[in-house]
Amino acid sequence: MKKLSVAIITLNEERNIGRCLDSVRGFADEIVVIDSFSTDKTEEICISFNARFETHPFGGYIQQKQYALDRCMHDYVLMLDADEAISDTLHKSIAAEKENGFPEMAYEMNRLTNYCGQWIYHCGWYPDIKLRLFDKTKAIIGGQNPHDRVIPLSNAQKTKHLKGDLLHYSYYSIEEHYKQADRFANIAAKALAEKGKKSSVIYAGIKATAKFVRNYIIKAGFLDGLNGYIICKISAKETWWKYYRVIEIQSAKDEKNR
């Protein structure tokens, strides 16, 4: 039987990591946790689950997850975030694939997000399909920070969709969401600017408005009630911040070059 590694990156995740680690009991042959120098009880909790805990400077989500992937002993890896957990149905699906020797190169799954205690089924948040279980010799971590994704090295590789949800415990408060949106907007703006992308106030406004319309109306965010509206509003604000900050970065660069 092929063995399975579980890879997770952390920073002060004592609130979430225990739930995440507990959910992979039964099929994980190795748990690798790469930590960005947490100051809470993250390390203590990870060690209590017999995880291999290592610290490594954070150079970006893509870079940190690729490092975690490279530290895994086994070819097949389940890549998780610390605020995620495997549902019972998904656990059975993964265990069954392992029992069969992982016949496919990669496996994707739906991610269901819990927002301030409410499961969100709209807003463009579900089904949030993620490719998280794969043969690490045939894939890399790519994307654009802060949004990483697994990229198969060949388009010919088969991917199977597993039954069950990947449970995502995202934000415990609206304030947390605003802070994360602000941080992600900064990271994304820098990444866009480094690629030479341009922006304008009109463009930022159009992108933010389109984001809200897509998530709240087209993706039926209104069906998730007040939290649905808040999610769509903050997502639109994050989009505005991202593209407006590209303008600020451009202006600062132009001023410096004068």
Task: State yes or no: pLDDT of 258 exceeds 80.
Answer: no
Task: State yes or no: pLDDT of 153 exceeds 80.
Answer: yes
- Note whether 221 and 230 are within 8 A (CB): no
Contacts of 19 (CB under 8 A, 6+ apart): 85, 169
Task: State yes or no: pLDDT of 234 exceeds 90.
Answer: yes
User: What is the tens place of the pLDDT at every residue in 179-209?
Assistant: 999 999 999 999 999 999 999 999 999 999 9
Count of CA atoms in the C-beta half-sphere (13 A) of 126: 20
Confidence of residue 252 (pLDDT cuts 50, 70, 90): confident
- Note whether 34 and 109 are within 8 A (CB): no
User: What is the tens place of the pLDDT at every residue in 33-91?
Assistant: 999 999 999 999 999 999 999 999 999 999 999 999 999 999 999 999 999 999 999 99
C-alpha dist (Å) from residue 246 to 62, 196, 212: 21, 10, 20
Share of the chain above pLDDT 90, in %: 93
Angle at 88 between CA 167 and CA 226, to 5 degrees: 35
Q: How many CB atoms sit inside 10 A of residue 244's CB?
A: 20
Confidence of residue 156 (pLDDT cuts 50, 70, 90): low
Helix spans in the chain (H): 17-22, 42-48, 61-70, 88-99, 174-194, 201-212, 225-257
- Note whether 189 and 245 are within 8 A (CB): yes
Confidence of residue 155 (pLDDT cuts 50, 70, 90): confident
Judge residue 31's burial from the number of C-beta atoms within 10 Å of its C-beta, 0-12 exposed, 13-18 middle, 19 or more buried: buried
Mean pLDDT, rounded, of the chain: 96
Q: What is the 3-state secondary structure of 205-218? A: HHHHHHHHHHHHHH
Specify the pLDDT at position 154: 81
Specify the pLDDT at position 36: 98
pTM: 0.92
Specify the pLDDT at position 256: 74
